[in-house]
Structure 1
Amino acid sequence: MPASYTPKTRDSEAQEHTSSQSLQTNLSAAEATVRDVLTGKGGALFSLAPDDTIAQAVAMLKDKGVGALLVRDGQGALVGILSERDIVRQMAETPGETLPRLVRDLMSAEVETSSPDETLVRVLRRMTDGRFRHMPVIEDGALIGLVSIGDVVNFRLTALEYEALQLKQLIVG
């Protein structure tokens, strides 16, 4: 019988101890950061000005395939965020009157931001507690990215798929 098929016994010289969860895998999931998500996502940022119309915002959301847009002033400073939810709520309240309005009228001016070194667990908790889905990322006073709750969940799912593959390879050999 080939050595690779030899069953391990209590008296085997090279006994290995493995487990499906280790301190390392649990810590790596808990220590994943916003920077990890941004690295895989890329740095495309889509923004508009406070004086643009909601019609322009809707067109940009559609064209870019995103769920939120950053709102920046003339100097590029972040002054708000406008999401699909903001627009839909306003459309429900004032049917037929929303598209000509200005972004400044519907945007969220109090924007929760993250640092790139904040853990994903903490960001998810903040998004869930605050009931919002998008968070701009600021480093050294500069806007460097935007993460969505979908980005964070997708990152974690990909990590779980990788961990499952590693376990399969460990079991199969």
Structure 2
Amino acid sequence: MVESYRPHLRKDDEDARSHSQTAQTNTAEMNAIVQSILDQKDGTVHAIRPQQSLHDAVIALRDHHIGALLVTDQTGALLGILSERDIVRKLAETPGTTLPQKVEDVMTRKVETCSPSDPLVTVLKRMTSGRFRHMPVLDGDRVAGIVTIGDVVHYRLTALEHEALQIKQLIVG
């Protein structure tokens, strides 16, 4: 018996499906590591000493258009990090007397760090779960840079745009 009509079924499309994004391509370690972000930055790391005032820190944050400063000693060793959030919390606690206080009294001493070879997906997860936006990058004991949550998102969006362009070129020829 020959069928004259059969409706289109979902299983008819199973072989024709393709996936431009997978968990593997979105988290490919060979491309998505911290060093990939550091390579795109100018290498400048803004730091402040623990004995300096919060006023000095606020001026540096404003002038450099950044959201955090690394706190280092005279040898460049990482002692902590001072973010805009740290300063805002202190402003709420001590209104009118905050800016003369020392960085060491406000900074975050327990700093989450990463290495240049860490996968970006791991760094992003740590930043999200820890609710912080800046992470110093240490290469051994040396500060190699700092990555922000914005850096990670921008890197991934750029990669997706590149992938979309490649797919378009494959289609157009």
What TM-score range do you get, normalising by the shorter chain? Answer: 0.7 to 0.9
* Distance verdict in 2 for CA 1:154–1:22, change over 3 Å: closer
Q: Paired residues, what number?
A: 156
Amino acid at match of 1:160: L
Contact 1:20/1:167 (8 A) holds in 2? no
Aligned equivalent of 2:36:
36
Taking the aligned partners of 1:18 and 1:139, their CA distance within structure 2 comes to 43
Instruction: Please give the per-residue CA displacement for 1:29-84, whole angstroms capped at 9, x wherever unaligned.
Output: 43110000100112110001000000000000011111100000122210000001
Amino acid at match of 2:20: Q
Instruction: Please point out which of 4, 24, 38 is paired with 1:26.
Output: 24
Taking the aligned partners of 1:164 and 1:87, their CA distance within structure 2 comes to 41
Aligned equivalent of 1:159:
159
Task: List structure 1 runs of 4+ shifted beyond 6 angstroms.
Answer: none
CA RMSD of the aligned region, Å? Answer: 1.8
Aligned equivalent of 2:169:
169
What is the TM-score when the length of structure 2 is the normalising length?
A: 0.84
Aligned equivalent of 1:148:
148
Shift of 1:22: 6.5
Taking the aligned partners of 1:18 and 1:46, their CA distance within structure 2 comes to 49
Amino acid at match of 1:133: R
Contact 1:30/1:121 (8 A) holds in 2? no
Taking the aligned partners of 1:157 and 1:22, their CA distance within structure 2 comes to 13
Shift of 1:26: 3.4
Contact 1:78/1:143 (8 A) holds in 2? yes
Aligned equivalent of 2:88:
88
Contact 2:77/2:141 (8 A) holds in 1? no
Contact 2:33/2:118 (8 A) holds in 1? yes
Aligned equivalent of 1:5:
none
- Which residues of 2 match residues 107-122 of structure 1 at below 5 A? 107-122=107-122
* Distance verdict in 2 for CA 1:54–1:22, change over 3 Å: closer
Contact 1:137/1:144 (8 A) holds in 2? yes
Contact 1:34/1:116 (8 A) holds in 2? yes
Instruction: Please give the per-residue CA displacement for 1:87-143, whole angstroms capped at 9, x wherever unaligned.
Output: 111112221111111000110001111010000000000011111111111112211
Taking the aligned partners of 1:153 and 1:28, their CA distance within structure 2 comes to 12
Amino acid at match of 1:30: A
Contact 1:71/1:82 (8 A) holds in 2? yes
- Which residues of 2 match residues 26-105 of structure 1 at below 5 A? 26-27=24-25, 29-31=27-29, 32-105=32-105
Contact 1:48/1:70 (8 A) holds in 2? yes
The more displaced of 90-99 and 64-73 is: 90-99
Query: Percent identity, aligned pairs only?
Result: 55
Taking the aligned partners of 2:21 and 2:143, their CA distance within structure 1 comes to 36
Contact 1:68/1:83 (8 A) holds in 2? yes
